[in-house]
Structure 1
């Protein structure tokens, strides 16, 4: 798998004088059914999250607050995506190594996943990932 399928997707943004509203719909704005939702927050300065790939899981990552970067690696090349608006999200296909880094103060990362948690779906060893691309 390559990260050529990865893309920043602009979500609908409904303007209102009382505040804006955005929405994410499965199989509409993102190309999968949502099976799990989690968020990452209170990340200490300099810490990195992720650092793994999935055999089957796909993700959609949104910076609900603040900013951070997602470094994606398909085993041959790397690409850096910056997320800093709550109406943009990053589609992460399966089989791509991903690492989240450079979290700003008070940032919140919302992650929508295509599968329920399954430890056997994770690839944690980078050397193994590079030797056996998905």
Structure 2
């Protein structure tokens, strides 16, 4: 079944509370995002010109946030590709499963926070783009 990339990703505008002391943003699993948070990780000290990710997941969903600095999130569902510049700590990008993702163009000091719906499980990863396209083709043939 052909899915629009718009059906598989969404921009999540998180609560931003600001006062003279600074700003605060919070996220509650199954409230602000449609899944319980089972894993949190973050990328930092990414060297200039480096790319991260380069994979998809069979089941895992994620929310990606630039908590500091900026980076580009390149998303691909096998039919459509979109680049989203992440640069605001109160904005997240929610990705459903079977979305190929690449992270690149990290600014100096960038920190990428990821909230994941599942614990780490290597069998959930699709690490080869051609294999990803084959999985999409098989899914859509059903």
Give TM class, smaller chain: over 0.9
Structure possessing the higher radius of gyration over alpha carbons:
2
**Which consecutive unaligned segments of at least 5 residues does structure 2 have?**
none
Q: Deviations over 1:78-97 (max 9, x none)?
A: 01111101000000110110
Structure 1, residues 95-132: CA drift from partner, whole Å, max 9, x if none?
A: 11001110000000000000000000000011011122
Q: What is the TM-score with the length of structure 1 in the denominator?
A: 0.97
- The aligned counterpart of 1:3 is 5
**Which of 23, 26, 44 in structure 1 is aligned with 2:26?**
23
Asked whether the equivalents of residues 64 and 85 of structure 1 are also in contact (C-alpha less than 8 Å), the reply is: yes
Q: How does 1:1-134 map to 2 (within 5 A)?
A: 2-4=4-6, 5-133=8-136
Provide the aligned length of Structure 1 versus Structure 2.
Answer: 134
| In 1: Cα distance, 2:135 partner to 2:122 partner | 18
Relative to the length of structure 2, the TM-score reads 0.91
Higher percent of residues as helix: 2
Q: Is the 8 A contact 1:2 1:96 kept in 2?
A: no
Q: Post-superposition shift, 1:2?
A: 4.9
TM-align CA RMSD:
1.0
* Secondary structure, counterpart of 2:19 in structure 1: coil
Contact 1:64 1:108 in 2 (8 A): yes
Consecutive unaligned residues in structure 1, runs of 5 or more: none
